[in-house]
């Protein structure tokens, strides 16, 4: 009786560790050079211009000298503590004669643009710049992810998508974390919320995190087209490019597809691969993304018959894929040796250097074999009866994906496996850091933001049809 709640607790914990953090990269900060049409932050001799018609939420970190400032009709300037504007009498000697400089348009930045997000496993990793690679669909926040807009910054994002809502687990803006649906929809209707988020779909928070230790599907495939419309694919230099599930472009590299049981733990396995392989000098240039995807199933790699959840590991090396293949082979060796302990029943490799490489097929599902046998029997019977005519066989590799042997027993004891997952015993540096959440700058220092909640909101009273000059 008393064992059950314990097990549940552990599962919940493991599940909680499975969500990823997705951080929005662009900002509408005054100090960011790329936000100004002259490519520089305005100085004391300059005339600063915000387009009158544009909605904008600007974060100002420090204090700035300006000559003159034109404000938009509807907008807000959020001042960090100590930030502000002042006027220099005459010319600012450090600034030259002065120019008229415009704040650029950030109207077109799309939530569903994968190039505008960074992914990390923890908040610390976000701060340290330890970002994870993933397929394009998963670069954009998944439904179980925590979304982060950097603490000392503002932004404007178009949340149009193919659905009415964009569900996520939590979302933080200006250092405040929203986890409740009602609280965030209230924020969305506030002045700041309306300036920061626009578009046809509403972001909703409070979606449950990933409660499945084996991982959760991202849920962004409904928006695949929109996501990929923002991506430009590079040219490839390999024989057989691969198309990972959820990716917009073909790649040169390797894909390891892992078949798992309930004892599998995605987060732990990701850490294992990092510790065993990715930290090795020879794999420095490797990009590796690992997630649960719905893989289309094909009999003999040709005939589609539905899809099943698998762990997809995408490995890229930026070149022909040889290095990726070496890592994939290393992973297969590791799976052969420890797979049953890790909750892995089998794995397939696809590489871009060897078309249809059969060497990589490690194991397979018994029922897969049975299905193939059944199909072969049916076809043979039909041919005998003259219903089907035998086509001339193309030079197909001899049933490369046919799983012929099962390395690991299918009837793995779940209890054993669960224990194995819990005290696997490879060292995880993330758990060695005490209170890793308490020392994140910006999270605890809410008092450094001046009027975080509302900002300094203004509807320009002096606005007229022409540009309003607001001299500070």
CB of 155 vs ligand NAG, minimal distance in Å: 8
- Of 2-10, 27-35, 156-164, 332-340, which segment contacts ligand NAG by CB under 6 A? 27-35
DSSP letters for 266-322: HHHHHHHHIIIIITSGGGTT-EEEEEEEEEEEEETTTEEEEEEEEEEEEEE-SSSSH
114 binds ligand NAG (CB under 6 A): no
Structure tokens at 351: 């590489």
Cβ atoms of residues 401 and 361 within 8 Å: yes
34 binds ligand NAG (CB under 6 A): yes
Structure tokens at 334: 């590791």
353 binds ligand NAG (CB under 6 A): no
Residue position matching structure tokens 């998963």 = 138
Structure tokens at 55: 């909605």
- Please say which residue, 152 or 168, places its beta carbon nearer to ligand NAG: 152
- Please say which residue, 157 or 335, places its beta carbon nearer to ligand NAG: 157
- Of 23-31, 36-44, 66-74, 197-205, which segment contacts ligand NAG by CB under 6 A? 23-31
Distance (Å, whole) CA 421 – CA 162: 38
- Please say which residue, 34 or 163, places its beta carbon nearer to ligand NAG: 34
Rg (CA), the chain: 27
- Of 21-29, 167-175, 312-320, 368-376, which segment contacts ligand NAG by CB under 6 A? 21-29
Residue of 36, 29, 105, 95 lying closest to 66 (CA atoms):
95
CB of 51 vs ligand NAG, minimal distance in Å: 17
Distance (Å, whole) CA 41 – CA 277: 43
- Of 24-32, 217-225, 244-252, 350-358, which segment contacts ligand NAG by CB under 6 A? 24-32
Residue 350: burial class (beta carbons within 10 Å; 0-12, 13-18, 19+):
buried
CB of 63 vs ligand NAG, minimal distance in Å: 18
118 binds ligand NAG (CB under 6 A): no
Residue position matching structure tokens 């020392």 = 439
Distance (Å, whole) CA 405 – CA 421: 25
The residue nearest ligand NAG at its CB is 26
26 binds ligand NAG (CB under 6 A): yes
- Of 20-28, 229-237, 392-400, 435-443, which segment contacts ligand NAG by CB under 6 A? 20-28
Selected from 10, 16, 32, 443, the binder of ligand NAG by CB under 6 A is 32
| Neighbour count for residue 95 (Cβ, 10 Å) | 17
CB of 116 vs ligand NAG, minimal distance in Å: 8
Selected from 18, 27, 113, 123, the binder of ligand NAG by CB under 6 A is 27
Residue position matching structure tokens 């709640």 = 5
Which residues sit at the interface with ligand NAG, rule CB under 6 A?
Answer: 25-27, 32, 34
């Amino acid at each position: 009786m008393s064992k059950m709640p314990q097990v549940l607790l552990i599962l919940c914990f493991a599940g909680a560790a499975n969500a990823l953090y997705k951080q929005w990269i662009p900002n509408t900060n005054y100090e960011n050079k790329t936000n100004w049409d002259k490519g520089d932050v305005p100085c004391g001799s300059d005339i600063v211009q915000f387009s009158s018609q544009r909605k904008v939420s600007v974060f100002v970190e420090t204090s700035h000298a300006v000559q003159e400032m034109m404000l938009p009709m509807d907008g807000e300037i959020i001042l960090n503590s100590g930030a502000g504007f002042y006027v220099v009498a005459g010319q600012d000697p450090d600034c030259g004669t002065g120019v008229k400089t415009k704040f650029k348009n950030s109207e077109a930045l799309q939530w569903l643009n994968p190039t505008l997000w960074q992914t990390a496993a923890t908040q610390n990793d976000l701060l340290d710049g330890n970002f994870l690679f993933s397929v394009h669909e998963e670069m954009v926040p998944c439904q179980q992810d925590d979304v982060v807009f950097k603490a000392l910054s503002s932004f404007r994002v178009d949340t149009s998508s193919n659905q009415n809502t964009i569900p996520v687990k939590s979302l933080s803006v200006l250092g405040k974390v929203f986890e409740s649906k009602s609280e965030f929809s209230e924020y969305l209707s506030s002045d700041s919320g309306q300036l920061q988020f626009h578009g046809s779909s509403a972001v909703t928070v409070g979606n449950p995190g990933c409660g499945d230790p084996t991982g959760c599907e991202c849920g962004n495939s409904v928006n695949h087209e929109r996501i990929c419309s923002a991506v430009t694919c590079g040219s490839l230099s390999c024989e057989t490019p691969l198309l990972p599930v959820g990716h917009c472009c073909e790649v040169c590299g390797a894909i390891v597809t892992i078949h798992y049981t309930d004892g599998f733990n995605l987060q732990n396995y990701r850490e294992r691969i990092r510790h065993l392989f990715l930290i090795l000098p020879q794999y420095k240039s490797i990009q590796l993304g690992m997630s649960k995807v719905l893989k289309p199933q094909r009999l003999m790699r040709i005939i589609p018959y539905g899809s099943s959840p698998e762990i997809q590991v995408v490995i890229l090396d930026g070149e022909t894929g040889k290095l990726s293949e070496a890592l994939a082979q290393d992973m297969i060796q590791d799976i052969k040796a420890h797979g049953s302990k890790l909750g892995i029943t089998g794995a397939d490799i696809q590489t871009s250097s060897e078309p249809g490489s059969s060497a990589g097929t490690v194991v397979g599902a018994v029922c897969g074999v049975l299905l193939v046998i059944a199909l072969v029997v049916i076809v043979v019977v039909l041919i005998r009866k003259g219903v089907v005519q035998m086509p001339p066989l193309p030079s197909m590799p001899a049933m490369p994906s046919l799983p012929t042997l099962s390395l690991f027993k299918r009837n793995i004891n779940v209890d054993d496996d669960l224990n194995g997952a819990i005290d696997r015993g490879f060292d995880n540096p993330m758990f060695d850091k005490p209170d890793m959440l308490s020392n994140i700058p910006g999270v605890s220092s809410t008092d450094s933001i001046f009027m975080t909640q509302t900002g300094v909101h203004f509807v320009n009273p002096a606005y007229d049809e022409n540009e309003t000059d607001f001299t500070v």
